[in-house]
Amino acid sequence: MRIRPSFLKTAAVTIRGCIAIVAPFLLAPRATGRILSDCGLVVEKNKGHDIREMFDGIAGRYDLLNHLLSLGIDRRWRRKAVLCLNVKASQRILDMASGTGDVALEIARRYPQADLIVAADFSAGMLQRANAKIRRAGLGQRIFPVAARCEAIPHGDGTFDGAVIAFGIRNVADRSRGLQELRRVLRPGGKLLVLELSTPANPPVRVLYHFYFRKLLPWLAGFFSRREAYRYLPRSVADFPDCDQFRHLMEEAGFEIVAQTPMTFGIVTLHAAVRKG
């Protein structure tokens, strides 16, 4: 049977995208096994604390593995989200679940007219890395790292004109509460962009996607001796709402959906919404 070049290209891009998602977790410290119950699920009552511990553990290698193993595809995803912000002069922007600060830095570089950028994350390890990158970039007067959970953002009502959360909402323990908080700190009409993993709709791509998570990823995890760490990621993706369900969650929280755009054959989706009055 002859394999079409277009299929090989699709396979290569899909696997690159999957590697961008999982790479840091494969080398996570063994302690991250504590985030899992015996059946591989996150222990719900301690979910926020345990996920924070996991991200603290991978902070030191997060950027290197993401960018190196994905050949930069993760940067393209984040750049697309930032482009959709369309920041105007003197506007204030929140980068929630900022991690090591890539989105906040991209916002600052692309929109010098932005008045204030807050890079918020609940992981001290990630914020430490973000702060170092911000200082090296000479942007310490424009980007302000803040320790915060999405469910309890330490800013007043209507503080921000726009907000981004890239690959973070899936890890929020109380997702509905997190979306309500994002709405609260946005002004009426303020834009929210949620970049998150999704299951591809295209059948051949979906087969590749499931093969990676169900077959290749367990092997990689065993190779790196991190079987306990890999379990969280596929399960969290599988448990995340589909586009229609997530649209409903956002609407319940007080947002109007503008667009839901699949990227890289649907392994990532960009959800764009505005706060209703």
Q: What confidence tens digit (pLDDT) does each residue in 60-95 have?
A: 666 665 655 556 688 899 999 999 999 999 999 999
pLDDT of residue 34: 38
CATH code of the domain in which 201 resides = 3.40.50.150
The contacts of residue 181 (CB under 8 Å, 6+ apart) are 150, 151, 152, 153
Q: Does the reported pTM lie above 0.85?
A: no
pLDDT of residue 19: 58
Domain that holds residue 25: 5-275
Q: What confidence tens digit (pLDDT) does each residue in 200-234 have?
A: 988 988 888 888 877 776 676 566 545 555 566 77
What's the one-letter identity of residue 250? M
Q: Give average pLDDT by consecutive 10-residue segment, the chain, 277 residues.
A: 54 60 54 34 46 64 59 84 96 96 96 97 90 96 96 98 96 95 99 94 88 74 55 77 96 98 94 96
pLDDT of residue 39: 26
The contacts of residue 212 (CB under 8 Å, 6+ apart) are 14, 15, 18
Number of domains in the chain: 1
